[in-house]
């Protein structure tokens, strides 16, 4: 039996390299098709009573820009972001038990009335954090540390999916979904995607990514319990092998 072919759409940095290596360790034939390129804004997070980081990328850019924690209560959405903060020498005070924006709002809502809260993240974050914290009485500001662009090389996964050649495809954020569909639209390949993806195991990290796929009427087959890429890869490959048996 030939190895399953699985497309992965992670950013065009070390993450796509690590994703390919991990998929190979699962005896999968990876199709790396980065749908995101990180464009830093060179901005530095403002100082506030609370500072919230939502990604490893944001942490790395803030640290490179020289952000200092001082007396700020630092919050991380997820263990991977928390690990990135600690590796950069920051103390992590709060990690919500549910690794989502809603989970963090629930965690902070009783404590932030009248407090300043800084959101240090990409230019594409959802409104859930800001609106939820403001509703709890916080004074919210936001610094966009980077933008997510679509690489010019993106699109191999669109072609393979339309031809029904993919066994699986891994979506890791709403933006990867948006760029995937944009690429298909530009190639006039949207109509071919639906039947092709019906034969493909579609894996998605988190509820926001699932909602983005549902918006474009792409059915999601597997969602891991955490926002960890390795688990996404594992559950998707497991489903593929179950189908092939």
Give mean pLDDT, residues 189-198: 86
Structural tokens at position 226: 């955490």
Q: How far apart are CA 240 and CA 245, in angstroms?
A: 9
pLDDT (tens digit per residue) in 95-145:
988 767 888 888 899 999 999 999 999 998 888 889 999 999 999 999 999
DSSP summary character for residue 45: P
Angle between the N-to-C axes of helices 56-64 and 79-87, in degrees from 0 to 180, rounded to the nearest 10:
20
Q: What is the pLDDT of residues 47-93, one digit of tens each?
A: 999 999 998 999 999 999 999 999 999 999 888 899 999 999 999 99
Pairing of strands 201-204, 168-171: parallel
pTM here? Answer: 0.80
Kind and range of the H or E element at 116? Answer: strand 116-122
Cβ(150)–Cβ(183) below 8 Å: yes
Contact by Cβ (8 Å): 54, 85: no
Q: How confident is the model at residue 172 (pLDDT cuts 50, 70, 90)?
A: very high
Q: Residue 36: pLDDT band by 50, 70, 90 thresholds?
A: very high
For residue 68, the model assigns a pLDDT of: 96
CA distance 170 to 54: 20
Helices 128-135 and 101-108, packing angle to 10 deg: 20
| pLDDT of 1 over the 60 cut | no
Give mean pLDDT, residues 5-9.
97
The Cα 54–Cα 33 span in angstroms is: 23
In which residue are the tokens 């918006």 written?
215
Judge whether 146 and 169 are in contact, CB under 8 Å.
no
């Amino acid at each position: 039996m030939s190895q399953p072919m699985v497309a992965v759409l992670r950013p065009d940095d070390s993450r796509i390299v690590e994703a390919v290596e991990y998929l190979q360790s699962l005896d999968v034939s990876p199709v790396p098709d980065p749908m995101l390129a990180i464009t830093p804004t060179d901005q530095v997070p403002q100082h506030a009573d609370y500072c919230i980081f939502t990604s490893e990328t944001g942490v790395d850019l803030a640290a490179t820009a020289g952000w200092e924690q001082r007396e700020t209560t630092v919050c991380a959405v997820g263990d991977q972001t928390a690990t990135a903060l600690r590796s950069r020498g920051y103390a992590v005070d709060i990690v919500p038990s549910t690794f989502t924006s809603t989970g963090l709002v629930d965690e902070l809502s009783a404590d932030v009335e009248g407090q300043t809260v800084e959101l240090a993240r990409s230019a594409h974050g959802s409104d859930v954090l800001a609106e939820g914290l403001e509703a709890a009485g916080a004074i919210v500001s936001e610094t966009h540390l980077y933008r997510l662009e679509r690489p010019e090389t993106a699109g191999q996964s669109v072609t393979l999916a339309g031809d029904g050649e993919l066994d699986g495809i891994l979506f890791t954020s709403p933006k990867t979904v948006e760029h995937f569909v944009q690429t298909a639209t530009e190639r006039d390949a949207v109509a071919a995607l639906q039947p092709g993806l019906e034969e493909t195991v579609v894996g998605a990290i988190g509820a926001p990514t699932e909602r983005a796929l549902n918006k474009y009427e792409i059915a999601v087959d597997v969602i891991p319990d955490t926002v960890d890429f390795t688990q996404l890869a594992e559950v998707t490959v497991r489903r593929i092998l179950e189908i092939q048996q």
